[in-house]
Structure 1
Amino acid sequence: MTTSALHPAVERADLLIDLKRYEEARKLLAQRLSEDPQDVRAWVKLARSHLGDENNGAEALKATQRALELDSEDIGALVMHAHALRGAGRFLDTEGVLREVIRIAPAYWYGYALLADWLWRIRAIRSGQANGGQVRREDQEAALRESGELAREAVRLAPEEVYAYEVARLIMAGDRPAAERLDEAILRLDPQHEQALARRTTRTADAPGIKAAEAASLYADALATAPDSAPMRSGLDQASFRLLRGVRWLALLCLALAAAGIDLFTTGGETQRDLPLPLGQRLWDLVPMAVVWVLGALLSYRRLGAGVRVNLRSLVRRRTWPRVVLAQAAWSMVCALLITQVPWTQRTAPQVLFWIGLLPTVTTMWFDRRKNN
């Protein structure tokens, strides 16, 4: 197992690869290898550069084979050789290479983690090849058990390495309590881990009893930590749309208040008010509507976090259904105002307004529950 330090040129090339400046790295490595073709680390880094921008598994494989000719037990060369084999379309051959890594370096956590990550996939492919494209359940379960044991060993050897927990979480995704514990371990090590943060936020936001405003706040807070997370942006949009859908209920409540204010429908044999209603009564009918909007919308909106308020406005600009929802709420309110403020002498026209304000909104409410586009 080689432990030699990197040559300065190879070290610079490694930094260039980290910066995704692969072509510059290859030029530097080519110069270094022309000076010393026995530099194992330079061959390994050359393979890494080929797997970077070009995903050229064939060239990477040539480089790792040259490195292994120089030192067949170099761990870095073996690990990169496994990646090169996968890049070259020889994924099934990686198992033997990674088992060799574990044999040579039984205390090296990454060998266990990478084999755990790939083994269950390799076994699924082999099972499918042997059974006419169908993966046998017993083969899958055996592969997951073995992969789980390897992942647990990786975590034991390196309890501070995020990748070990990521692999364990992937394998144990079907065990919800274990998966949640692993997500918490990942977030303890990396509070900005995008996938684990998205999963935890989604679990919390989707829990029973969580209101739309609470869910939106959870997603907005999580996005402040991981602003590029597509799942959390989608979750925030969904929660924001739920908030907008609530606006229609306020408008429908105002429509019902308008109907009650003009005694639009007879109930229990009571005598309906004489029409037209006095101006004072018509103006007074506006008061409960104003209370509904102030308490139900304005104050609720002001209590929302800045991120949620910004997303609400953005969602209306970006998506069609939020605009439809607001248009329906506005239409219902127009009908409510016409019912209360016009001095009607007959109830036929207000009744028509009531139904055309109610029906288009109610008939779409069940349909747009999951719409936000």
Structure 2
Amino acid sequence: MSTTSPTLARALALMEVGRYEQAREQLGRHLAEEPDDSYAWERLAGCCNDLGDFMGAREAAREALRADPDNADAHLQRSEALRSGGLPYDAADAAREAVRLRPENARCRFMLSMAIRSYPGGGSLQEAYDVALEAVRLDPDYVGGHFALYLVARDTDREDIAEQALLQALRIDPGNVYARGELAKLKERTKGAKLPELAKEYSETLSLRPDNDDIARRLYSVVYRLIQRTRWFALLCLLIAALFARVFPTGDDPTALPVPLGTRLYAISLMGLVWVVGAWRIYRKLPQGARTGMRAVLRRIGWSRLAVAQALWGTSLAVLVTAPPWTERGWLQALVLVGAVPLVLTMWVQRAFISAD
């Protein structure tokens, strides 16, 4: 290997800043002069993997191993190319060879765990789990080992271990976008976090990676569910109106109409309190990103605008039932039903669709 080649040095510098296409070109120039440089071939395989050219990565890794059969990094690049390129069984064999050459290397164990996980026929999920544990044992500060452990623990329903693995990854690298996003997803799946907390997690993750469409979609989903909750405020207001306006009197309850002014004012005050407390509990912890997401959801999702419209409709009818001194109970009952029935039917239909999915 030529460690003094200016072309190779430029290629490595380009890889450091993520300019893989230019790095691949420089490596090609270097290898045209030194075709037996196993290290340069291995770096070329890494460039190809990062660019998604898995066939090129396999060919470069093969050339690296031709020049040096004991190049463990070349085996790892070949394993990555095979796994990502749809040949996971061969990927496990390549990773096992890297482990044989470097038995104390945590990255080799990480790659082997990932390869086994992607094709259980090359081993078992339990083996992938054990290999990931070994990677963590060999190097507790290697983030990849914790990620491998998280993935296999998640696949085998060990949610507590999966969460601990992500927390350890964030301890090592607090700004790791993948770990933050996966931790929020895990909490959402296990219902271990409330919607405002999830919105905060997804919003902070999205601020680190604004181009992450999956996190943006999940943030919008959480914000959409928060918007839907406003319909519960309207239903509660309608219940207050029905009780205090004596819409459906039962037993020994007062039945005389109109309802005294003081009672009506008290009911309207309770409705205001429902909205103030409800909105405060839901939205007080939302970061700016989630509030921006709320505006985006209202623009893009028609169901969210319907939810807001229904919440305002139900609340307006509740106020209409309570504020005037009604003397005809039939009108009161009609107004309450017109406000409540569409809300309940829409919520039931949406819940049925979600359960079907």
TM-score w.r.t. the length of structure 2 is 0.79
Determine if the alignment matches structure 1 residue 248 to structure 2 residue 231: yes
Sequence identity (%): 33
For the aligned residue pairs, the C-alpha RMSD in angstroms reads: 3.7
Paired residue secondary structure (1:366): helix
- Contact 2:147/2:169 (CA < 8 Å) preserved in 1? yes
User: Which residue of 7, 25, 28 maps to 1:27?
Assistant: 25
- Of the structure 1 ranges 106-115 and 349-358, higher mean CA displacement relative to structure 2 is found in 106-115
Q: Aligned residue for 1:137?
A: none
User: Which residue of 150, 156, 166 maps to 2:137?
Assistant: 156
| Distance (whole Å) between structure 2 residues aligned to residue 178 and residue 363 of structure 1 | 41
- For 1:73, the aligned partner's letter is D
Distance 1:224 1:348, change over 3 A: same
- For 2:340, the aligned partner's letter is L
| Distance (whole Å) between structure 2 residues aligned to residue 55 and residue 349 of structure 1 | 71
- Contact 1:10/1:45 (CA < 8 Å) preserved in 2? no
Alignment of 1:129-208 (within 5 A): 143-173=124-154, 174=156, 175-204=158-187
User: Which residue of 91, 98, 122 maps to 2:95?
Assistant: 98
Deviations 1:91-149 (A, max 9, x none): 4334444333333333333222212221344452x6xxxxxxxxxxxxxxx62343334
Determine if the alignment matches structure 1 residue 273 to structure 2 residue 256: yes
For structure 1, the 5+ residue unaligned runs are 127-141
For structure 2, the 5+ residue unaligned runs are none
TM-score w.r.t. the length of structure 1 is 0.76
- Contact 1:152/1:168 (CA < 8 Å) preserved in 2? yes
- Of the structure 1 ranges 78-87 and 311-320, higher mean CA displacement relative to structure 2 is found in 78-87
User: Which residue of 317, 328, 338 maps to 1:346?
Assistant: 328
User: Which residue of 310, 318, 323 maps to 1:328?
Assistant: 310
Distance 1:354 1:143, change over 3 A: closer
User: Which residue of 99, 105, 109 maps to 1:108?
Assistant: 105
Distance 1:51 1:313, change over 3 A: closer
Q: Aligned residue for 1:259?
A: 242
- Of the structure 1 ranges 217-226 and 351-360, higher mean CA displacement relative to structure 2 is found in 217-226
| Distance (whole Å) between structure 1 residues aligned to residue 79 and residue 266 of structure 2 | 78
| Distance (whole Å) between structure 2 residues aligned to residue 267 and residue 72 of structure 1 | 88
| Distance (whole Å) between structure 2 residues aligned to residue 311 and residue 45 of structure 1 | 41
Aligned length in residues: 350
Determine if the alignment matches structure 1 residue 73 to structure 2 residue 70: yes
| Distance (whole Å) between structure 2 residues aligned to residue 337 and residue 39 of structure 1 | 81
Determine if the alignment matches structure 1 residue 368 to structure 2 residue 350: yes
Distance 1:195 1:21, change over 3 A: closer
Displacement of 1:13 = 1.4
- For 1:100, the aligned partner's letter is E
Deviations 1:337-362 (A, max 9, x none): 33344564533222211211111112
| Distance (whole Å) between structure 2 residues aligned to residue 241 and residue 212 of structure 1 | 10
- Contact 2:241/2:322 (CA < 8 Å) preserved in 1? yes
Q: Aligned residue for 2:272?
A: 290
- For 1:201, the aligned partner's letter is A
Distance 1:181 1:24, change over 3 A: closer
